[in-house]
C-alpha cells in the first residue's frame, strides 16, 4: 500500500478519539506537555517512546486514572470529561495495564463480571446476546468480601460464560471461562484482561507493553487477534518501546520524548533508524558487538540444583550447567519460571534444597597471597601438597620459620599447583566474600536487595568495601572515587554523589548498581534485567560494559526479557520452563521461535 493511499484511507475513516494539548505534571515532574493525538476507527496506533517519556501517563488520562492539568479529550468530535475508569467504559474505552488486575482464586468468568452491578451486567447480556438475567434479591450490607462472594455465586454465570465464548470465537482468543486465574499462564491472564474490556463493549482498546512477558509464538497469536479486532472496527493503541514489533503491527506511530510529542508517522513511510532518532533525539547505533568467548576454564558449576519456596514447593528442579571464563550465558524464560531464584541461590541469598554450586578459582601456577589465606591455611595447604615454588620444586615448610614463610609468599615464590575448588552451598553472601570469591550480583529488586535507598551514592559504594578498613577506621576515599567514576562514565543524572539513591530515577538507580558491581572486579558477574528502565543509549552502554568484562575473562550470567538482545549478546542461552532446564543452545545458531518453543516447554 502506498503512503498516499494510507493517508487517504485515514481521511475517510471516522475519527474516534482526539487528545488536544494535554499536559500533566506530578509535583515538579512534567509527565506530558501539550501532547495532541488522533485515533481513527479500525486502526492500530503504536505509542512509542523510551521509559519515562510519558506514554503510560498519557493513556492513563484517556482511561480515567489521571485527570489532565490542561487540554481536552474528544470522542467522535464531542468534548468529554473522563474522571474515572467507569467514565472511560461509558465512552467505550478500556485499558489493559502492564500489571494485571485479576483475582487469583476466581475463574475467568468471575473475574470478568466482578465489579459490574446487576443492572449493567443485565444490559450487557441483553444488548449483545438477548439473554435474560435471573433476578437476585437485594443483599444486606455486610463484609465486602462476603458481598463479592455472594454476588458471584448468586449470579447466573452461565450466561456470562457463553458471552465470553462468543467473544473468543469472534476474535480468535483461546480461553476456558471456568479456569481459575491461579492456574493460568501469563498469556492466558493477558487474554482474560482483554476479554474483560471487550465484554464491557469497548471500541477503543489501550494495551500497555502487551508483549513484555510473552514468547514469540504468543506474540504472533496476540497480533493475529488484534488484526481481527481491527477488521471488526475496533481502534487499538499499543504502548511500547519495541521497534521491531511496532513495525510489524502498527498502521501509524506516535513518538513521545520526555513528555513531549515528537511526531506521528505512517508505518510505511518510516524505518527503525528514523524512529530511534525520534525517540532518542540523535542517531544511535543499535549494534551489540559480540566477541568470541575467551578461555576454556570453568568458573562455576551448578549440579542438580533444586530450590523450594516458602511453601515447600519446587521453584527450581535439577538444574545443571557450567559457566566458563570470558563467556556470557543468557538465561531465557517466561517471567516467574525460576530465573530470580536461580541467581539468588548461587549468590547465597536463597537456600538450596538439593545439589551443589561449585566455584573454581583460577589459581593454577599463580602466586599464593595473604589477601585471602592466613598463615596457618597456607601451612596446611603446603602439607597437603597444594603448592610448588617458582622454580618448579615441591614446597616443604618443615623447619622454616613463620617469618621466612611470609617473605617467600610476599615475594611470589609460592605458586598453586592447580585451581581451587570451593563449595558455595550453605554459605551466605558474607561468607562467600570472606572466601575471597569475587561474585557480583545485580538483582531484579534494585532498591530492596541491591542498594539502600536512604543512603547516598558514596555510602552505597561503601557497602562493598567497609569491611576492608584498618581496624575501626573506614576508607572513604576509594568509595568516593568509585562513585565519581560511575557518575561520569555511565552519565548518572545527579547533582552529586551525596544524593540519596531513592531520589534518583529508576534508570539512574540501575546505573549506580551495575557500576558498583563492575567496580568490584568480579570473576563471576550475575545480572538480572540490567537495562530495565534505561534509555536506549544507557542500555547499549551496559551491553558494552558487559562485553568488556567478558573480554577481561569474567564469566557473566545474564537474565533478560528481550530475546533479540539475548540472541545478540549471549554466547549460550539456558532456557527455563516451569523451574526446569528445557534446553541450552548456541546463541549464534538459534532463532527467536526456537527459543520461544523451549520457553513453552515444547
Which three cell numbers mark 549?
Answer: 568484562
**Cα 144 from Cα 121, distance rounded (Å):** 19
The end-to-end CA distance of the chain, in Å, is 37
SS3 431: helix
Supply the pTM of this predicted model.
0.74
Domain-located, residue 226: yes
Domain-located, residue 196: yes
pLDDT band at 129 (very low <50, low <70, confident <90, very high): very low
Query: Are 170 and 213 found together in one domain?
Result: no
Would you state the pLDDT for residue 145?
Answer: 54
pLDDT tens digits, one per residue of 538-591: 788 889 889 999 999 999 999 998 898 999 999 999 999 999 999 999 999 999
Strand 235-240 and strand 44-48: pairing? parallel
Q: Given its phi and psi angles, is residue 116 left (phi above 0), alpha (psi -120 to 50 degrees) or beta?
A: beta
Query: Are 226 and 215 found together in one domain?
Result: yes
Which three cell numbers mark 125?
Answer: 447480556
Query: Are 207 and 247 found together in one domain?
Result: yes
Q: Which of 267, 282, 297 is the last residue of a domain?
A: 282
pLDDT at 52 over 80: no
Which three cell numbers mark 402?
Answer: 613463620
DSSP 378-430: HHHHHHTT-EEETTSPBP--TT--HHHHHHHHHTT-EEESS-EEEE-TT--HH
pLDDT band at 117 (very low <50, low <70, confident <90, very high): low
Query: Are 72 and 52 found together in one domain?
Result: yes
Domain-located, residue 249: yes
Would you state the pLDDT for residue 472?
Answer: 55
pLDDT at 351 over 80: yes
Q: Given its phi and psi angles, is residue 301 left (phi above 0), alpha (psi -120 to 50 degrees) or beta?
A: beta
Query: Are 30 and 88 found together in one domain?
Result: yes
- Which has the minimum average pLDDT: 97-111, 281-295, 401-415, 549-563? 281-295
Query: Are 59 and 145 found together in one domain?
Result: no
pLDDT at 321 over 90: yes
pLDDT tens digits, one per residue of 8-21: 455 467 999 999 99
Domain-located, residue 327: no
Query: Are 194 and 149 found together in one domain?
Result: yes
pLDDT band at 344 (very low <50, low <70, confident <90, very high): very high
Domain extent at residue 269:
1-92+202-282
pLDDT tens digits, one per residue of 453-492: 899 999 999 887 665 555 555 667 888 899 999 898 888 8
**Cα 534 from Cα 39, distance rounded (Å):** 29
Domain-located, residue 463: no
Cα separation values, 386 from 15, 393, 399, 413, Å: 79, 12, 18, 14
Would you state the pLDDT for residue 149?
Answer: 52
Would you state the pLDDT for residue 444?
Answer: 81
Domain-located, residue 385: no
Query: Are 173 and 238 found together in one domain?
Result: no
Would you state the pLDDT for residue 150?
Answer: 55
pLDDT at 120 over 90: no
DSSP 155-178: S-HHHHHHHHHHHHHHHT----TT
Domain-located, residue 174: yes
Q: What Rg do the C-alpha atoms of the chain give, in angstroms?
A: 29
CB-facing half-sphere around the CA of 235: CA atoms within 13 A: 20
Positive/negative CA dihedral, 434, 435, 439, 443: negative
Q: Which of 253, 282, 311 is the last residue of a domain?
A: 282
Q: Judging by beta carbons within 10 Å of its beta carbon (0-12, 13-18, 19+), is residue 294 exposed, middle or buried?
A: middle
More reliable by pLDDT, 156 or 7: 156
**Cα 596 from Cα 302, distance rounded (Å):** 24
Would you state the pLDDT for residue 377?
Answer: 84
Mean pLDDT of 508-514: 87
Would you state the pLDDT for residue 82?
Answer: 95
The CATH code of the domain that includes 68 is 3.40.50.300
Query: Are 7 and 25 found together in one domain?
Result: yes
Residue with cell string 473468543: 168
DSSP 5-22: HHHHHHHHSPEEEEEEEE
Would you state the pLDDT for residue 148?
Answer: 57
Query: Are 118 and 251 found together in one domain?
Result: no
Domain-located, residue 581: no
CB 129 within 8 A of CB 212: no
**Cα 567 from Cα 330, distance rounded (Å):** 8
Residue with cell string 503504536: 46
Which three cell numbers mark 329?
Answer: 550465558
**Cα 201 from Cα 62, distance rounded (Å):** 16
CB 556 within 8 A of CB 546: yes
Q: Which of 144, 175, 200 is the last residue of a domain?
A: 200
Number of compact structural domains in the chain: 2
CB 108 within 8 A of CB 152: no
Percent above pLDDT 90 for the chain: 45
CB 263 within 8 A of CB 33: no
Query: Are 216 and 193 found together in one domain?
Result: no
Would you state the pLDDT for residue 469?
Answer: 54
Cα separation values, 107 from 79, 104, 152, 309, Å: 38, 8, 10, 25
Percent above pLDDT 70 for the chain: 89
Query: Are 257 and 173 found together in one domain?
Result: no
Amino acid at each position: 500500500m502506498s503512503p498516499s493511499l494510507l493517508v487517504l484511507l485515514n481521511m475517510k475513516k471516522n475519527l474516534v478519539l482526539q487528545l488536544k494539548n494535554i499536559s500533566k505534571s506530578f509535583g515538579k515532574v512534567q509527565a506530558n506537555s501539550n501532547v495532541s493525538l488522533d485515533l481513527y476507527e479500525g486502526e492500530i496506533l503504536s505509542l512509542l517512546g523510551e521509559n519515562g517519556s510519558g506514554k503510560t501517563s498519557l493513556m492513563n488520562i484517556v482511561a480515567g486514572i489521571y485527570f489532565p492539568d490542561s487540554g481536552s479529550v474528544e470522542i467522535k468530535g464531542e468534548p468529554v470529561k473522563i474522571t474515572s475508569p467507569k467514565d472511560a467504559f461509558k465512552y467505550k474505552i478500556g485499558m489493559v495495564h502492564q500489571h494485571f488486575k485479576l483475582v487469583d482464586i476466581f475463574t475467568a468468568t468471575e473475574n470478568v463480571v466482578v465489579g459490574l452491578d446487576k443492572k449493567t451486567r443485565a444490559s450487557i447480556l441483553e444488548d449483545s446476546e438477548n439473554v435474560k438475567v435471573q433476578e437476585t434479591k437485594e443483599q444486606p450490607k455486610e463484609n465486602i468480601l462476603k458481598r463479592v462472594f455472594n454476588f458471584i455465586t448468586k449470579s447466573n454465570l452461565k450466561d456470562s460464560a457463553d458471552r465470553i465464548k462468543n467473544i473468543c470465537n469472534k476474535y480468535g482468543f483461546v480461553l476456558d471461562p471456568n479456569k481459575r486465574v491461579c492456574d493460568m499462564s501469563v498469556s492466558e491472564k493477558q487474554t482474560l484482561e482483554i476479554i474483560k474490556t471487550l465484554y464491557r463493549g469497548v471500541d477503543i482498546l489501550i494495551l500497555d507493553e502487551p508483549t513484555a512477558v510473552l514468547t514469540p509464538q504468543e506474540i504472533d497469536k496476540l497480533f493475529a487477534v488484534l488484526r481481527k479486532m481491527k477488521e471488526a472496527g475496533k481502534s487499538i493503541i499499543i504502548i511500547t518501546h519495541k521497534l521491531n514489533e511496532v513495525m510489524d503491527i502498527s498502521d501509524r506511530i506516535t513518538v513521545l520524548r520526555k513528555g513531549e510529542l515528537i511526531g506521528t508517522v505512517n508505518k510505511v513511510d518510516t524505518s527503525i533508524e528514523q524512529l530511534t532518532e525520534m525517540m532518542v533525539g540523535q542517531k544511535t547505533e543499535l549494534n551489540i558487538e559480540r566477541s568470541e568467548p575467551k578461555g576454556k576454564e570453568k568458573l562455576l558449576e551448578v549440579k542438580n540444583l533444586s530450590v523450594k519456596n516458602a511453601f515447600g514447593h519446587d521453584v527450581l528442579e535439577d538444574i545443571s550447567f557450567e559457566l566458563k571464563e570470558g563467556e556470557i550465558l543468557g538465561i531465557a524464560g517466561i517471567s516467574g519460571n525460576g530465573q530470580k531464584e536461580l541467581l539468588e541461590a548461587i549468590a547465597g541469598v536463597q537456600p538450596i534444597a538439593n545439589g551443589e554450586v561449585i566455584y573454581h578459582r583460577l589459581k593454577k601456577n599463580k602466586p599464593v597471597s595473604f589477601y585471602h589465606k592466613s598463615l596457618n591455611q597456607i601451612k596446611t595447604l603446603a602439607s597437603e601438597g597444594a603448592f610448588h615454588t617458582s622454580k618448579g620444586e615441591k614446597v616443604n615448610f618443615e623447619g622454616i620459620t613463620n617469618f621466612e614463610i611470609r617473605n617467600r609468599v610476599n615475594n611470589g615464590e609460592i605458586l598453586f599447583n592447580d585451581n581451587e575448588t570451593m563449595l558455595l552451598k550453605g554459605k551466605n553472601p558474607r561468607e562467600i566474600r570472606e572466601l575471597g570469591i569475587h561474585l557480583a550480583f545485580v538483582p531484579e529488586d534494585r532498591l530492596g536487595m541491591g542498594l539502600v535507598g536512604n543512603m547516598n551514592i558514596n555510602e552505597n559504594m561503601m557497602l562493598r568495601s567497609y569491611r576492608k578498613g584498618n581496624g575501626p577506621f573506614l576508607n572513604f576515599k576509594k568509595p568516593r572515587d568509585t562513585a565519581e567514576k560511575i557518575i561520569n562514565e555511565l552519565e548518572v543524572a545527579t547533582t552529586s554523589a551525596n544524593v540519596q539513591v531513592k531520589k534518583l530515577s529508576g534508570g539512574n538507580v540501575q546505573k549506580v548498581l551495575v557500576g558498583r558491581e563492575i567496580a568490584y572486579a568480579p570473576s563471576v558477574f550475575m545480572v538480572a534485567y540490567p537495562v530495565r528502565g534505561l534509555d536506549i543509549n544507557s542500555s547499549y552502554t551496559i551491553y558494552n560494559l558487559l562485553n568488556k568484562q567478558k573480554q577481561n575473562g569474567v564469566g557473566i550470567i545474564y537474565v533478560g526479557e528481550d530475546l533479540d538482545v539475548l540472541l545478540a549478546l549471549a554466547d549460550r542461552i539456558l532456557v527455563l520452563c516451569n523451574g526446569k532446564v528445557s534446553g541450552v543452545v548456541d546463541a549464534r545458531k538459534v532463532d527467536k521461535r526456537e527459543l520461544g518453543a523451549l520457553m513453552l516447554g515444547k
